[in-house]
């Protein structure tokens, strides 16, 4: 599991992917994020078909660490099977998309800005 990191004011957006230039291994990305102490971390899972068990464990440990500091980690665009597994856990914020999270009042990164950056990364990878 690889990750693009995008630091934003007071938050961080992680985009999970299976490969790509400029990506970090998930464990390294999460360590970098926790060192920067953002108030919130947004994890965009739309580019992965599944989340391995170890990746989910790492994300949950990061979420617990952020929660202890008064922050949170929100998982967006989860694969269906993972979403069904996590919906019973009221402590883990889930959102169908970044836009949905914003609609429900979570302090979401600028959705248009994130989309533009993601499109630029995809274009540069070609």
pLDDT in tens, 51-88: 888 988 898 888 888 888 888 888 888 887 777 777 66
Question: Whole-model pTM?
Answer: 0.72
pLDDT in tens, 38-60: 778 888 988 888 888 898 889 88
Fold of 2-125: Transcription Regulator spoIIAA (3.30.750)
pLDDT band at 106 (very low <50, low <70, confident <90, very high): low
Cα distance between residue 70 and residue 81, in whole Å: 29
Sheet with 40-44: strands ordered across? 24-25, 2-8, 11-17, 40-44, 72-76, 94-95
pLDDT of residue 120: 37
> Can you tell me which residue has the tokens 């599991």?
1
């Amino acid at each position: 599991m690889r990750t693009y990191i995008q630091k934003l004011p007071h938050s961080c957006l992680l985009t999970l992917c299976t490969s790509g230039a400029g990506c970090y291994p998930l464990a390294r990305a999460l360590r970098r994020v926790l060192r920067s102490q953002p108030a919130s971390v947004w994890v965009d899972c739309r580019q992965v078909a599944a989340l391995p068990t170890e990746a989910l464990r790492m994300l949950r440990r990061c979420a617990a660490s952020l929660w202890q500091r008064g922050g949170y980690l929100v998982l967006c665009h989860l694969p269906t099977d993972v979403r069904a597994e996590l919906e019973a856990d009221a402590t883990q914020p889930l959102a169908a998309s970044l836009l949905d999270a914003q609609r429900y009042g979570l302090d979401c990164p600028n959705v248009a800005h994130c989309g533009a950056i993601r499109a630029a990364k995809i274009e540069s990878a070609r």
